[in-house]
Structure 1
Amino acid sequence: MAVRTADAEWRGALKDGTGRIKTESGALDGPYSFRSRFESDTGTNPEELIAAAHAGCFSMALANALASAGHPAERVSTTAKVHLDKAPGGFAIGRIDLVCEAEVPGLDEAGFKAQAEDAKANCPVSKALAATEITLTATLV
């Protein structure tokens, strides 16, 4: 199966250093810093990248599950909110909130919720992050 890579380099101390993250595909090549991670400075951060990966993976998994069940979605849109919190010994990702909205003709609310919960439990990124609480708000429109 596929192996994907990304590189990160950090220079300097934590608070005044700078880093750069890039993916092998070239889709991302950008800076990150203490301020982009813990404040509101420009640049990316690891939590934002986890959120992007989780939102993308969940959306694909849900779309696949819906189509496999005979209800192909017209649209699946997901936002992932990764919570970085102070914890004993430093910081930790304590929770990820998935907020999904989907257009699925011919599917009732109960069927949609069941497929969404299954996708949350079984998308590869959710499995990789299983030690973290993952919540789901799924809306059928």
Structure 2
Amino acid sequence: MEIKRNATAHWEGSGKDGKGTLTTASTVLNGTQYSFNTRFADGVGTNPEELAAAAHSGCFAMQLAFNIQGAGFTATFIDAKAVVTLDPASSSITSSKLTVTASVPGITKEKFDELVGHAEKNCPISKLFNTAISVDATLE
């Protein structure tokens, strides 16, 4: 069975001087502001790349947790940060760099790295991106 999630964007005005809002079906985002300044400068609000980074870090952390569980371990914690890079000149996302720190009692570094590599390539958001994806992972 497919799972469908949705969000809506509302935009008014030109690309540079206009403004918009984003709303998710769950209402976690509910009329959340975004604009040229939130995307290309330091304005207050969110932007598509920030949301893509949140989606990638969250998806990766959950995939890694499932991988760790499948290998017979339980993570005490997994902290994942994604930095999505946008090249305005080409209007494309050029990379998503994940930095991960985790504590997994009893796991070897080799097994952890194997599970990280699988998560990097197989979390659904990684599969969605058509860009270079990299991960720096630390096991504590």
Alignment TM class, shorter chain as reference? over 0.9
Aligned partner of 1:55: which letter?
S
Aligned position for 1:11? 12
Give the TM-score taking structure 2 as reference length.
0.96
How many Å apart are 1:86 and its aligned residue? Answer: 3.3
Residue 22 (structure 1) aligned with residue 39 (structure 2): no
Q: 2:64 aligns with which of 54, 62, 65?
A: 62
* Cα distance in 2 between the residues matched to 1:71 and 1:121: 20
SS in 1 for 2:5: coil
Q: Give the paired residue count.
A: 138
Letter in 1 for 2:108: D
C-alpha deviation, 1:32, in angstroms: 0.1
C-alpha separation in 1, matches of 2:126 and 2:71: 21
Q: Deviations over 1:18-76 (max 9, x none)?
A: 00001000111200000000000000000000000000000000000001100111111
**2:114 paired residue number:** 114
Gaps of 5+ in 1: none
**1:1-141 paired onto structure 2 within 5 Å:** 1-29=2-30, 30-87=32-89, 90-129=90-129, 131-141=130-140
Amino acid corresponding to residue 47 of structure 1 in structure 2 = E
Letter in 2 for 1:104: V
Q: State the AA in 1 paired with 2:101.
A: E
Secondary structure at 2:91's aligned position in 1? strand
